Amino acid sequence: MKAVRFHETGGPEVLRYEDAEMPVPGPGQVRIQVAGSAYSPADGGIRGGFLPFPVTLPHIPGYDVSGTIDALGDGVVGRTLGEEVIGFIPMDADGAAAQYVVAPAEAVGKAPTAIPLADAAGLPSVGLTASQALFEAGELKAGQRVLINGAGGPVGGYAVQLAHRAGAYVIATASPRSRKIVEAAGADEVIDHTATSVLDAVTEPVDILLNLAPITPEGFTALVTRVQDGGVVVSTTPMVETPGDEERGVRAVTIYVHTDAAVLAGLVALIDSGDLHVEIAQRVPLSELPSIHRQADAGEIHGKVVAVPPAV
Rounded to 10°, the helix 124-131/261-272 angle is 100
**CATH pick for 2-123+278-308 out of 3.10.105.10, 3.90.180.10, 3.20.20.70, 3.30.390.10:** 3.90.180.10
Q: What's residue 52's pLDDT?
A: 80
Q: Give the residue among 141, 172, 168, 147 at the shortest CA–CA distance from 157.
A: 172
3-state secondary structure of 264: helix
Cβ atoms 51, 42 nearer than 8 A: yes
Q: What's residue 238's pLDDT?
A: 82
Report residue 67: phi and psi, to 5°. 170, -160
Q: Give Dmax (Cα) for the chain.
A: 60
Query: In whole angstroms, what separates CA 268 from the centre of its chain?
Result: 14
CA distances from 309 to 35, 37, 126, 312 (A): 7, 8, 21, 9
Q: What's residue 32's pLDDT?
A: 98
Q: pTM to 2 decimals?
A: 0.95
**311 CB contacts (<8 Å, ≥6 apart)?**
none
Q: Where in the chain are all domains bearing CATH 3.90.180.10? A: 2-123+278-308
Instruction: Name the fold adopted by 126-254.
Output: Rossmann fold (3.40.50)
Per-residue pLDDT of 85-134, as tens digits, reads 999 999 989 999 999 999 999 999 999 999 999 999 999 999 999 999 99
Write out the E strands in 212-267: 227-235, 251-254
Whole-number Å distance between alpha carbons of 190 and 202:
10
Q: Could you say which residues of the chain have pLDDT below 50?
A: none
Q: What's residue 312's pLDDT?
A: 83
* Alpha-carbon torsion, ordered 199, 193, 160, 272, to 10 deg: -170
DSSP 169-182: EEEEEE-TTTHHHH
Q: Where in the chain are all domains bearing CATH 3.40.50.720? A: 126-254
**19 CB contacts (<8 Å, ≥6 apart)?**
1, 2, 3
Report residue 243: phi and psi, to 5°. -90, 145
Cβ atoms 210, 138 nearer than 8 A: yes
Whole-number Å distance between alpha carbons of 159 and 157:
5
